[in-house]
Amino acid sequence: MSTSATTDHAARGASGSGDVPALLSVRELRVHFPTEDGVVKAVDDLSFDLAPGATLGIVGESGSGKSVTSQAIMGLHRGTRAKVGGQILFDGVDLLTISDEELRRRRGQDVAMVFQDPLSALHPYYTVGNQLVEAYRVHHDVSKQAARARVIEMLDRVGIPSPQARFGNYPHEFSGGMRQRAMIAMALINDPRLIIADEPTTALDVTVQAQILDLLVGLQKEFGSSIIIITHDLGVVAEMADDILVMYGGKAVERGDADTIFYSPEHPYAWGLLRSMPRMDRLRTERLVPIAGNPPSLINLPTGCSFHPRCEYATAELGCFTTAPPFDAESDHPVRCLIPHTERLDIFENSVRPSL
């Protein structure tokens, strides 16, 4: 694989060592949507690696390109107006260049997906059992009875009580948490090597969220799958992720293992995310600090560093308003920031960490 030096650097950090060949290598991924108002650069120059069995958390606000990335991996942009570029290497095979038929065979079998809102992601007109049987029989040439047995086994595994009876229920007859369990069963039914969970707990009650995350973690251990978990909630990745990718305006702004992102983050946006996260180990009188402003329009990204309008440390001298920051070679993990490395560490230690 021949990639440029910057890309190599960009890929470093996530998934730790380079000894184990990555299950998934995303290289300079671009997903652009041409619209009448201009090109929406939903994902731009995104690279990361994911080792077998590892968990990557992709974090960012709405419109940062998280979900578009996951859909690109699933090949769900095919047949739409989206322009997808770069490489998505799954086990060495570029998912962007394989045939539709080959991609279809891999969907659900190699890579499976758990969606945000299980009520709308399940078909309202078919029973849960029917939809799971369908998912299994796409990839396994078995009788309906055998598929049914497998589905009931999976429903049981994800903790749905009396799965025999629940098999014939419609999605609207399930509770929110049970629906998401069924979605997870559907994703796992073909024993995929990679599961992409796109905001899997966002639509659920807080009390159910932890259960679903525990379930995912437990099943991951059991099945040995890699997981990409997409969320805007740092609490979710804190619980699950080995590596974290912070996205802003369609780009990766910082990437590192979970400890790095939580304890020594270097990007001002990552600081902002941490400061706005509620924590149990803090006094209740302390206020959360929101990130000022709104996520940028992906059609008209701010010039220079796209985070600069919301960044309290951005200055003209650093070039924040004019220069798009590359990954900072000084840092031990990929960070796109123009503030000099030492100064960044200084700001974090002295003014950010105390307020966390």
Partner 1 sequence: MFAYIVRRLFSGIVMLIVMSFVTILLFFSSAVDPARVMCGKSCTPERIEQTRKALGYDKPAVQQWTAFLGGVVKGREYPADEALRKAAPQLVVDCHAPCLGYSTVTQQSVGSTLWTKLPVTGSLAIAAFIMWMVVGVGLGIISALFKGTLLDRAIVGSSLLFYAFPTFAIGIALYTYLSLKWHLVKIPAYTPISESPSAWLQGLFLPALTLALVYIAGYVRLTRAFVLESLSEDYLRTAKAKGLAPRKILFKHTMRAALTPVVTAAGLDLGGLLGGAIITETIFNYDGLGKLAVLSNAQFDLPMIVGIVLVAATFVILANLIVDLLYALIDPRVKYA
Q: Which stretch binds partner 1 (CB under 8 A): 105-113, 236-244, 261-269, 294-302?
A: 105-113
Q: Do the Cβ atoms of 332 and 265 come closer than 8 Å? A: no
105 or 341: whose CB is closer to partner 1? 105
* 76 binding partner 1? (CB under 8 A): yes
Told to check if 90 binds partner 1 by CB under 8 A, we report no
Distance, in Å, from the CA atom of 132 to the CA atom of 120, rounded to the nearest integer, reads 15
Angle between helices 176-188 and 206-223 (to 10 degrees): 20
Could you tell me the smallest distance in angstroms from the CB atom of residue 123 to partner 1?
Answer: 4
Measured CA to CA, the distance from residue 53 to residue 143 in angstroms comes to 31
The reply on whether position 232 binds partner 1 by CB under 8 A is no
Least distance (Å) between residue 349 CB and partner 1: 44
Q: Which two tokens stand for residue 244?
A: 């974290």
Q: Distance between CA 248 and CA 269 in Å, rounded?
A: 8
Should residue 138 be labelled a site residue for partner 1 when binding is judged by CB under 8 A? Answer: yes
Measured from the CB atom, the residue of 120 and 175 that comes closer to partner 1 is 120
Residue 113 as a binder of partner 1 (CB under 8 A): the answer is yes
Q: Is 62 or 315 the residue whose CB approaches partner 1 more closely?
A: 62
Nearer to partner 1, 172 or 284 (CB): 172
CA distance 356 to 353: 5
Nearer to partner 1, 4 or 120 (CB): 120
| Site pattern 235..254 for partner 1 (x: CB under 8 A) | --------------------
Q: Which of 4, 62, 120, 294 binds partner 1 (CB under 8 A)?
A: 120
Rule CB under 8 A: say whether 74 interacts with partner 1.
Answer: yes
Candidate ranges 115-123, 145-153, 174-182, 284-292; the one touching partner 1 (CB under 8 A): 115-123
Report the nearest approach of partner 1 to the CB of residue 131 (Å).
8
Regarding 33 and contact with partner 1 (CB under 8 A), the answer is no
Q: What is the radius of gyration, based on Cα positions, of the chain? A: 21
Among the listed residues 30, 105, 232, 341, the single contact to partner 1 using CB under 8 A: 105
Q: How many CB atoms lie within 10 A of CB 54?
A: 23
Closest distance between partner 1 and the C-beta of residue 243, in Å? Answer: 23
Region of 8-16, 100-108, 304-312, 345-353 interacting with partner 1 (CB under 8 A): 100-108
Give the separation between CA 185 and CA 203, rounded to whole angstroms.
17
- What's CA 103's distance to the chain center, in Å? 20
Cβ neighbourhood burial of 210 (10 Å; 0-12, 13-18, 19+) = middle
- Compute CA distances 239 → 42, 179, 299, 344, whole Å: 27, 22, 34, 26
Run of H or E including 57: strand 55-59
Nearer to partner 1, 126 or 223 (CB): 126
Is the distance from CB of 12 to CB of 243 less than 8 angstroms?
Answer: no
- In this complex, which beta carbon is closest to partner 1, that of residue 186 or of residue 301? 186
Measured between alpha carbons, how far is 133 from 131 in angstroms, rounded to an integer? Answer: 5
Positions in the binding site for partner 1 (CB under 8 A): 71, 74, 76, 104-109, 112-113, 115, 117, 120-127, 134-135, 138-139, 170, 172, 186
